[in-house]
Each structure stands twice: as C-alpha cells, then as structure tokens.
Structure 1
Amino acid sequence: MKHFWRSKRVIIFVVLVVLIIGGGLIRAHSAKKQAALRDRYHIMTVTKTPDLVETGTVMPIRQETLKLPDGKVTVLVKNNMAVEKGETLVTTNDVAQINKLKALQNTLSSDQANLALKQRQLTTLKGQLAQLSSTADNYADLNDQVQSLQADINSAQATVNNDQLEVTTASSNNDSQVTAPFSGTVSVKNGASGQPVVKVSSNGHQIQGYVSEYDYHKIKQGESVALTALAGQQKFKGTISNVDQLPDTSSKTNTALYQFSVKCRKQLLDGQHVSVAVAQTYLRIPRSAVLHRNGRTVVMLVKNGRAHQTKVNLKVNGDFAVIKQGLHVGEKFISNPQKVKDGQQVNQ
C-alpha cells in the first residue's frame, strides 16, 4: 500500500514538472512570436512639423552707390548725413570735358585772330581803293580783292560764331552735379583709387536671407514670421515681403539658394543678424507609411493595441507625405505597414 502511494506521488510530481516546463515553453514561443511581429513593423507618433528657421541680415530696403564722373570731385555732404531726394551731394569737374573746353577755346582764339587779320587787310584795301579813280587801270582788280576778302571775312565770322557757341555749351557741361536718387542716409568713404565712394541707403529696413531648394515650398510671400535678434535675443514679428523665383547666381554651393525678404516695424541696425522662424502648420509622415488599398490611400493607425486602416488625404513630397486630412497630432501609426492587416493585434 505504501508503495502505491509513493508511486502516485511520483506521477503527480512528474505531471506538474511537465506542465510547468510546457507552460514556460509556450510563453517563450509566444514572446518570440510577438518579438518577431514587432520586428516587422515600427510604430511612430504623428508630430507637428518643426518650424523652418533661417538666419537673415538687416539691410536697407534700397541702397545705391553713386556713379561719379572722372575729374575733380567735391563732396558737399558728410558721412551719415540725412539727405532728401534730389539734393545735390557731389559736384565734379570732368577732366575730358575740361580738355575739350580748352581745345575749343584755343580754336576760338585762332579763328578770332584770323578774322581780325582779314578785317585789317580789308581796311587797308578799302583805303587804297578810295584813293583811286574808278577809271584807274588797277581799280577793278583792287575792287575784286576787296569783294573776295569781304566774303572771306563773312565766312570767318560765321566760324567764330560757331566756335563761341561750342565754348558756351562746353562751359555749361564742365561742372556736373550728382543728386540723391531717394531720401535716406549718405555714406562717404575713401575709395582705393583715391576717389570718394558715396552711397545712399534708404531709411526703411528689411531682413534678407536665403532658403534652399529643399525648403523653398515652406516659405511664402505674405506669411507672418517670428523674428529673434541673435544679439540680445529680442523677439518680434515680421512678414515675408518677397521670395525670389530665380536662384542666387553668386552662391558657390551645389544647392540652389533663393533670396527672401522680411518686412518688420522694429528699428534695427544695419548688418544685424536675425533668426527667422516660419511656422509649419502641416503634418508630415514617412512616405513608407502610406498604402494604396482598394483604390484608397490609407495609413495604419494604432488604437487599443490593433492596427486600423485609416483613409487620408495627402501629397507626396520626396521621402515624406504631407497630410492634408485624416491624421492628428499625437496619433500613433505604423511606418512600414506593408505586411500588417487591418484589425491585426500589434504591440506598442
């Protein structure tokens, strides 16, 4: 009898051991299966697209370096002086014009001397002619000389008159004035050639920066932007006033850069650097998360531990898809759902 109960206890013990080991194996297999499933998909969270942040430089809205003619230059304004549109800033004496005037004056003097000589000769001939009788043998010949010389004098007088007109015109063009093309502040510096460099900057300012071809679609004219002065971290608002459609040809990078301008009311310093943040209101997910099933564009959302096929409206942009409708910030989705079925249990 004792042997029977001993054998029974052994059997029960063996059964319990088998059950424990079997349960462990089942749990291990299940965990391994779940791990394998997790390896096949990756769960991500829908987040707001980060703002586009670029750095810009404060510059006058309009700036122009004046072109000065060759010659002696007289600057009538001082550096950093406020000027009005049309105000005379510089007077110049054009060297070429001065030389031309001198040549014309020399020609005029020579022609005047020639005219005076002919006039003296005419006076002499007329005196001789007056002393002769009209019947004298040389009267007719002398009279012809007087008439010919008078014609020469008339021609010489016309030449002198033309010379005087050219001298007057050249004299008026000798001194030229350079005026301010618009109201603003003038800068006067010494150039490398010894000639002054005069630049006029408008009173209004703007912020200019560059956006790459990859981010061009993120910035639009008329958009409000958040500005932060890099020196002092002062914050203020602005508006995109212009985005160039053609790339900057002076850029030496392999990426096309497009200049944009920001208008702001804050008084800033020329050359000051400002951070320009353009808010991005759209949602963006990896392109790999997008499926096309039964004529619909869908994304696999994860809710209550299961995958749910959800219709979305989107636009593909490179490796990403911009969501127009169907997803919200904070929702979870599968980024590689190609092997995931609708309603399938998933582990987060």
Structure 2
Amino acid sequence: MKKSGQKKRNKKVWFGIGAAVVVVGFIGAKTVFSSKEVEPEYTTYTITEMASLKLDGQVSFLDTRDIFFDPSLGKIAEINVENGKEVKKDSPLLTYNNSDIQATETEQANAVNRNNLQVQQAQENVNLATQKYNEALNKVAVAKQKLNTAKEAEEKETLNAEIQQLNEAVSAANSEVAQANQALQLANSDAVGAANTLEQTRGKVNTVVTAPIDGQVTVDASAMSSTDKPVIKIATQKKNIQGKVTEYDYDKLQTGEEVTVTTVGSGKSAPGKIVSIAQTPIAKNEGNPVVSYQFTVEGDFPWAEGLSTSIAVPQKQMIIPTAAIQKEGEKEFVYVYKAGKAKKTPIETETNLGRKVVKSGLNWKDQVIANPNKELKDNQDVQVAAND
C-alpha cells in the first residue's frame, strides 16, 4: 500500500513539471512572435518650421545728403547752420557771393540806365512830333476857314495853294509821329530786356543753397573752398539696416517679410521689415567668388550708425523629404499618419534650391510617412517610429 501511494505522488510531480514546461514554452514563443509583429515598418516626419536664416547687416541712416562747395556759384560767404543742429527741408544752408557776376551786374545796371534814358528821349521825340502834327492840322483848318469866306478869285487861289502846302506838312508830321512811336517801342523793348537780364544776374550774385531733406547737419568749415569733401552733411534721424545675402539664399527673401534684427555687440533686438532687395549684385571681392546682394530692412532702430547686426529671417516654407512624395500620373500625394492609420493626402509642391516645398495640402505639425512603399494603402493600420 505504501508503494502504490508513492507512485501516485511521483506521477503528480512529473505532470506538474511537464505542464510548467509547456506554459513556459508557450509564453516564450508568444514573446518572440509578438516582438516581430510590433516592430514598426514605417517612420514619420513631422512638418515643422525651419530655423530662421541668419544674415549679416549694418545700421545705416535712412537717407543722407552731402553738400559740396560749388565753385560755379562763387565763394561761400556764409554758413547758415550750426554743427549738430536739426534743419527742415528748404532751410538755408549756404550763401554764396560771386564777385565776377557782381561786376557784370554793375555793367548791366549801367546799361539799364542808358536804356531808360533812351526811352525818355524817344518819348520826348514822340511828344514833339505829335505837337508838330497837331499844329499843322490847325493851320490847315484855319486856311480852310479863310477859303470859305474869301470872295476874290485871286485870294481863293492863294489859299488853295497854301492849304496844299499845309496838307503836305501834315503828312510829313504824321510820318515823324509814326517814326517816333516806332523808336519809342524799340527803346522800351531794349529797356525791358536789359532789366530782365539785370534781374537774372542779380539772382546769381548771391545764391542760397537750401536743405534737400529734414535731418541733422554736420558742418566742416575747412571744406568751404574744397570740392573733395562735403561742407555740410545731412542725415535723417531714422535709420535702416543694410543687409547682405548670398546667391544661395537670395530666393529665401521676400519684400514685406517681417524679420528680427539683433545687434552683435549688445544683443539688443528690434523688429523690422524687408522693404527692398537689390537685383544687381555687390561688387565681388578678389578672395570671395560668391555673389552677394544687398537688401534693406526698415524699422525703429535706435542704434549708432555702423553697428554690426544679425538679421533673423523666418523660414516659413513647408519642407518635406522627397522620399515621402508619391505620384499618380502628374498628381502628387503623401500619407499622413493619424490615429494609427495612413491617410492618403493630395499635395502640390515646388522645387526651391533642390528642396521640396509644399504649396498646399498639408498643415504644420502634420506627420507624414517618410518611407512609404507600394504596399501601403489609404486608411491602412500602420505602426510607425518617429523620425523627425
């Protein structure tokens, strides 16, 4: 009886061990197969904004004007502004005096006086000729009255001869009046012309040069007789930033684009806007073959002229990997990963500097499958690994 009980206990032990081995084997196999099933086949790329493009710039006055000595105007007689002062547009800056023209003015003034005398003389001649004409007319009238009352034939004949002579005198006097008036007109014309010439000349004797813009003036009195440097420099209080971009980044800039400008030394920042981009390149340096272009940023920049700056240009282009794009004929699409599924999404792209830029179809933060294959279908359940 003891041996029979012992055998039963041994069978139970071996049965338990066998069952445990089976369970362990099943769990191990399941673990192996499960690890193969959950290994993701696809990776995703998240659509995010690129880092800002950093470009060099320099603080510059928005507008500056240099006023040089102009020898054709004569000598500078007076500087009408003080160094460092603010001026308004059209304010007087310099007064010139031209001694050569002043001598000409004197000559022309004398000519005007002579012309005025000629006018007076011509007017007197007109008056005398007119008086002589009127007297001749009166004599004709008196002779005609006598003729009307004359009774004797001999007297009438004498009066008729006298009237004929008087009419000839009237005609001659009338011609003198006409000639005198013509001389007067000519004298008046000469006088007016001489007066106009004198007025123009007087305007050149003293010439005032005015400010072309509002701004602050810098005066250099040592340049009053030199054409090599400005006598006065006017600079507006507003400043802009003159930036430089290479040919490789030229297409990344757009007029009207908002940027952030930071001074290199102090790290002070201010917002700005690109207002112009040059189409003509800056002259190359011998040691640098890369073509560069100048662009202008406007804003409120209260910094000293010439300070170096860094211009941060946001890159808002939506870039995706070329491998993520699939085609159906001429149309492009990608698979957007959402809620465990691959959603087929039509897109439009363009190529810029070798990169694919999305024009429409996607949003920021979308996750696209970066390595689709031909087996991938719309709305397919997928497991992915992030790769952005």
Q: Give the TM-score normalised by the residue count of structure 2.
A: 0.53
Equivalent position of 1:321 in the other structure: 356
Q: Are 1:297 and 2:332 an aligned pair?
A: yes
User: 2:268 & 2:112 partners in 1: Cα distance?
Assistant: 75
8 A contact 1:301–1:334 mirrored in 2: no
- Aligned-residue sequence identity (percent) comes to 21
From 235, 259, 271, give the equivalent of 1:225.
259
Q: Are 1:179 and 2:213 an aligned pair?
A: no
Q: Are 1:93 and 2:128 an aligned pair?
A: no
- How does 1:303-314 map onto structure 2 within 5 Å? 308=342, 310-314=344-348
Equivalent position of 1:3 in the other structure: none
Secondary structure in 1 matching 2:209: strand
User: 2:192 & 2:259 partners in 1: Cα distance?
Assistant: 69
Equivalent position of 1:236 in the other structure: 270
User: 1:107 & 1:184 partners in 2: Cα distance?
Assistant: 40
From 311, 316, 330, give the equivalent of 1:281.
316
Deviation string, structure 1 residues 151-195 (Cα, Å, up to 9, x no partner): 9xx999997996676445423321111112232101234556466
Give the residue type in structure 1 aligned to 2:59: V
Secondary structure in 2 matching 1:279: strand
Equivalent position of 1:262 in the other structure: 298
Q: CA deviation at 1:260?
A: 2.9
Q: CA deviation at 1:50?
A: 1.8
Q: CA deviation at 1:232?
A: 0.6
Equivalent position of 1:72 in the other structure: 75
Secondary structure in 2 matching 1:171: helix
User: 1:169 & 1:93 partners in 2: Cα distance?
Assistant: 14
- How does 1:9-20 map onto structure 2 within 5 Å? none
From 296, 301, 307, give the equivalent of 1:272.
307
**Cα separation, partners in 2 of 1:194 and 1:342, compared to 1, 3 Å:** closer
Q: CA deviation at 1:107?
A: 7.2
Secondary structure in 2 matching 1:170: helix
**Cα separation, partners in 2 of 1:222 and 1:295, compared to 1, 3 Å:** closer
User: 2:192 & 2:328 partners in 1: Cα distance?
Assistant: 96
Secondary structure in 2 matching 1:51: strand
User: 2:350 & 2:308 partners in 1: Cα distance?
Assistant: 34
Give the residue type in structure 2 aligned to 1:209: G
Deviation string, structure 1 residues 60-99 (Cα, Å, up to 9, x no partner): 22222235532312323233221122221111224xxx32
User: 1:45 & 1:195 partners in 2: Cα distance?
Assistant: 59
8 A contact 1:312–1:327 mirrored in 2: no
Larger Rg: 2
Higher helix share goes to which structure? 2
Secondary structure in 1 matching 2:302: coil
**Cα separation, partners in 2 of 1:157 and 1:314, compared to 1, 3 Å:** closer
- How does 1:69-218 map onto structure 2 within 5 Å? 69-70=70-71, 71-73=74-76, 74-94=78-98, 98-103=99-104, 105=106, 166-167=197-198, 169-189=200-220, 193=227, 196-212=230-246, 214-218=248-252
User: 2:267 & 2:249 partners in 1: Cα distance?
Assistant: 25
Secondary structure in 1 matching 2:201: helix
Q: CA deviation at 1:285?
A: 2.1
Q: CA deviation at 1:322?
A: 1.6
8 A contact 2:101–2:205 mirrored in 1: no
8 A contact 1:307–1:340 mirrored in 2: no
8 A contact 1:58–1:270 mirrored in 2: yes
Higher relative contact order (CA 8 A, sep 6+): 2
Q: How many residues align?
A: 266
Q: Name which of structure 1's ranges 184-193 and 51-60 shifts more when overlaid on structure 2.
A: 184-193
**Cα separation, partners in 2 of 1:219 and 1:103, compared to 1, 3 Å:** same
User: 2:187 & 2:366 partners in 1: Cα distance?
Assistant: 100
Q: CA deviation at 1:303?
A: 8.9
Secondary structure in 2 matching 1:276: strand
Secondary structure in 2 matching 1:54: strand
Give the residue type in structure 2 aligned to 1:69: D
**Cα separation, partners in 2 of 1:307 and 1:260, compared to 1, 3 Å:** farther
**Cα separation, partners in 2 of 1:80 and 1:345, compared to 1, 3 Å:** same
Deviation string, structure 1 residues 90-113 (Cα, Å, up to 9, x no partner): 11224xxx3244245457769989
User: 2:253 & 2:350 partners in 1: Cα distance?
Assistant: 18
8 A contact 1:45–1:330 mirrored in 2: yes
